[in-house]
Amino acid sequence: MANPVLDVRNLTTHYFTRKGEVQALDDASFGLDKGESLGVAGESGCGKSTMAFSLINQVQPPGRVVEGEVNIDGINSVQLSETETRKKVRWKRISMVFQGAMDILTPVYTVGHQMKEPLHYHQGITGDEAREKCEKYLGEVGLDREIFTRYPHELSGGQKQRVIIATSLLLEPAVLIADEPTTSLDVVVEAQIMNLLKRLKKELGISMIFITHDLSILSEVSNKLSIMYAGKFAELGDAERIYNNPKHPYTEKLLASIPRLHKDVKRLERIPGAPPNLVDPPSGCRFHPRCPYAEKVCQEEEPEPRGVEGRKVACHFAGEVT
Ligand code: SF4
């Protein structure tokens, strides 16, 4: 990596439930350079959000990070206590726009009141200085400065989401995680928000992680792509290469199931079956019960990620069957 801001190694997070240990995220490793963006896609329940919460050290019980490192600015955040994480990492170094984040704005306080909070807590900035900074970032996300004095009910869904993005940038984090940032927005506003994030990445040089179940919106905004299946990375590497020429059977099927603007796709495919129960995932390759190319070895041995044409692919037959 040329200029790494984030280095994640073997990150593993499980939930300890009455029904058993849910292996929600297993052995995730990746790096992110300054200004780079990683798109993370996969079906619901594949571990995308668990990974995001693990990165900001905010996995809620009964879950916990059981192994691995999240290195940012020389700090391994998963080893920090909650107080240390708040002081040193969250907002400051890694910020996150949560799924449905626009609903977290409290209706009884103005936007400004709520935006100023992290500035006060983390940097002791108050009064006019805080207002100036908030208004600056409202401007960055394309909002009028007077939004500062408005109440959330006076804003549209798209404006609220922009407020959340502005707030997440206030402490100038090196990495911004956007977890399903356009959920519940209509397609026009969705496009505006994605364009906004793309612009901010370019202008502020911030590194971003986009998480979504909708692979089609990632191609425009990500340099790198990670396809997750059942808590594991199936394929990870250059976004354009993966998008145009997938090497993992799951990626292939996932891409064949979405409409592609620049490809002559006659018929969309569906992936038969359903994602596995992660309390008791399938032996060997977790995708084998749904994979059209599965052979005996797939049931018996877990495939190690291996390098194929500029990406890592966790498949025994990577590059041979797709
Ligand atoms: Fe399919 Fe086997 Fe590859 Fe898994 S290892 S994706 S089951 S071919």
Model pLDDT, residue 104: 85
Q: pLDDT tier at 2 (50, 70, 90 boundaries)?
A: low
Tell me the per-residue pLDDT of 108-138, one tens digit each, with 9 for 90 and over.
Answer: 999 999 999 999 988 899 999 999 999 999 9
Tell me the per-residue pLDDT of 271-314, one tens digit each, with 9 for 90 and over.
Answer: 999 999 999 999 999 999 999 999 999 999 999 999 999 899 99
Model pLDDT, residue 318: 93
Q: Please state, in angstroms and rounded to a whole number, the distance separating the CA atoms of residues 286 and 289.
A: 8
Contact 226, 41 (CB under 8 A): yes
Hey, is 244 helix, strand or coil? helix
218-222 contacts at long range (C-beta below 8 A, 24 or more positions apart): 218/39, 218/41, 219/39, 219/243, 220/194, 221/37, 221/39, 221/194, 221/197, 222/37, 222/38, 222/39
Phi and psi torsions of 131, nearest 5°: -60, -45
Model pLDDT, residue 263: 65
Ligand 1 atom closest to Cα of 286? 4
Ligand 1 atom closest to Cα of 288? 7
Ligand 1 atom closest to Cα of 295? 2
Q: pLDDT tier at 264 (50, 70, 90 boundaries)?
A: low
**What one-character DSSP code corresponds to residue 79?**
G
What is the 60 CA–ligand 1 centroid distance (Å)? 32
CB 293 less than 6 A from any atom of ligand 1: yes
CB 303 less than 6 A from any atom of ligand 1: yes
Tell me the per-residue pLDDT of 179-195, one tens digit each, with 9 for 90 and over.
Answer: 988 876 788 888 888 88
Ligand 1 atom closest to Cα of 234? 6
Tell me the per-residue pLDDT of 141-177, one tens digit each, with 9 for 90 and over.
Answer: 999 999 999 999 999 988 998 999 999 999 999 999 9
Model pLDDT, residue 265: 64
CB 291 less than 6 A from any atom of ligand 1: yes
Model pLDDT, residue 227: 97
Question: Which whole number is the average pLDDT over 224-247?
Answer: 95
Ligand 1 atom closest to Cα of 293? 8
pTM as predicted: 0.91
The answer, yes or no, to whether the previous bond of 62 is cis (omega within 30 of 0) is yes
Among protein residues, the one whose CA lies closest to atom 7 of ligand 1: 288
Ligand 1 atom closest to Cα of 292? 1
Residue of 315, 320, 321, 322 to mutate, ligand 1, most atoms within 8 A of C-beta: 315
Q: Please state, in angstroms and rounded to a whole number, the distance separating the CA atoms of residues 164 and 312.
A: 34
Residue of 297, 316, 322 to mutate, ligand 1, most atoms within 8 A of C-beta: 316
Q: Please state, in angstroms and rounded to a whole number, the distance separating the CA atoms of residues 22 and 314.
A: 21
3, pLDDT greater than 70 = no
Tell me the per-residue pLDDT of 34-91, one tens digit each, with 9 for 90 and over.
Answer: 999 999 999 989 999 999 999 999 999 999 999 999 999 889 999 999 999 998 999 8
CB 229 less than 6 A from any atom of ligand 1: no
Question: Which whole number is the average pLDDT over 255-269?
Answer: 75
CB 253 less than 6 A from any atom of ligand 1: no
CB 249 less than 6 A from any atom of ligand 1: yes
CB 286 less than 6 A from any atom of ligand 1: no
221, pLDDT greater than 90 = no
Contact 188, 219 (CB under 8 A): no
Ligand 1 atom closest to Cα of 321? 8
Question: Which whole number is the average pLDDT over 236-253?
Answer: 94
CB 285 less than 6 A from any atom of ligand 1: yes
Model pLDDT, residue 115: 96
What single string gives the DSSP state of each residue in 101-167?
A: GGGGS-TTS-HHHHHHHHHHHHH---HHHHHHHHHHHHHHTT--GGGGG--GGGS-HHHHHHHHHHH
